[in-house]
Amino acid sequence: MILNVSGRTDIVAFYTDWFMNRYKEGFFDVRNPFYKQQVSRIFLDDVDAILFCTKNPMPIIPYLKEINKPILFHVTVTPYKKDIEPDVPDKRKIIEAVKELSRIVGIDNLYIRYDPIFISDNYNIEYHIKAFKHLCEILNGYVKHFIVSFIDDYKNVRNNYKFLKLKDFKESDYEAMGINFSRIAETNGMTVQTCFEERNLVEYGFIKADCIGKELAQRLTGKTKFKKWKARSGGKCNCVEMVDVGVYNTCRHFCKYCYANYDEKIVKDNIKLHDKNSSLLIGKIGVNDIIKIRKN
């Protein structure tokens, strides 16, 4: 089993204390978002590797030496300002944390996600090319792999059109981005790929790869057989199956493009229910809850 921490919220940035408490206790409880009384219990002994997805790895860095499972990091670093990412820390601090991560977990276990990409008057193609070039240059020698994706029409995106002011991508935009990103990455000894996108830009030099495909999962875990992640995108994604311990509507970055938040009031209400000593990220186990052990 590969533990995803997390595609539903930024546990590393905001809930590291909870994660480490659960790690030491040896199990995590995850409430089913569609059947509230059903809770999956995940024992650490059944976990083969951990994927940490975060915009801010700083809180967990001091604890990494306590984690004796194979670790992979996906750190999202984007060029947007406070109008789009109001509560993301100073990117210069994030970059320094990325460099430290590289030294700790190794360059092959660290991916930078430059996503989601959208274009507007303030954030046009030329802006992205310049920002990507700068990012690759300052991370040269610390990072080898970049993953990009394009903004999707989520509820939160629709709610924030007035901030995002999105423009449609033209083929010339994809071409300019693909050619320039590929060239910049190669110049800096890096690869660049998309993440489950219809436009994977391989015709412009991107490599074709999955975020966590079978080959990478085998290297991390030593195992050879993995289920396909059928729950993601109706089974169209080729990543191996992962188990997410996060909860939607709990991320305090409040990014205007976020797919995991769709109601800021609910986010604030959920945060009040968080207890770092609970087995659940949000709330506590109730007398009517049904706990089932999840093995894979």
pTM over 0.85: yes
Contact 85, 39 (CB under 8 A): no
Q: Find the Cα–Cα–Cα–Cα dihedral 59, 65, 99, 249, rounded to 10°.
A: -30
How high is the pLDDT of residue 224?
84
| pLDDT band, residue 235 (cuts 50/70/90) | low
Average pLDDT over residues 107-128: 97
pLDDT digits (tens, 9 = 90+) for 136-163: 999 999 999 999 999 998 888 999 999 9
| pLDDT band, residue 233 (cuts 50/70/90) | low
Nearest Cα to Cα of residue 260 among 236, 239, 277, 244: 244
Q: Measured in Å, how far apart are the chain's first and last C-alpha atoms?
A: 5
Quick one: DSSP state of residue 245?
-
Provide the domain limits for residue 135: 2-294
What gap in Å lies between CA 123 and CA 153, rounded to an integer?
A: 18
Looking at per-residue pLDDT, the higher value among 208 and 275 belongs to: 275
How high is the pLDDT of residue 234?
55
Nearest Cα to Cα of residue 51 among 244, 293, 295: 244
pLDDT for residue 196 is more than 90: no
pLDDT digits (tens, 9 = 90+) for 30-44: 999 888 899 999 999
Indicate the average pLDDT of the chain: 94
Q: Residue 233, preceding bond cis, omega within 30 degrees? A: no
Structurally, the chain folds into a number of domains equal to: 1
- Give me the amino acid identity at 150: F
What gap in Å lies between CA 139 and CA 69, rounded to an integer?
A: 25
How high is the pLDDT of residue 231?
61
Nearest Cα to Cα of residue 249 among 282, 219, 278: 282
Quick one: DSSP state of residue 148?
E
Nearest Cα to Cα of residue 54 among 2, 5, 109, 114: 5
What gap in Å lies between CA 126 and CA 171, rounded to an integer?
A: 15
What gap in Å lies between CA 106 and CA 108, rounded to an integer?
A: 6
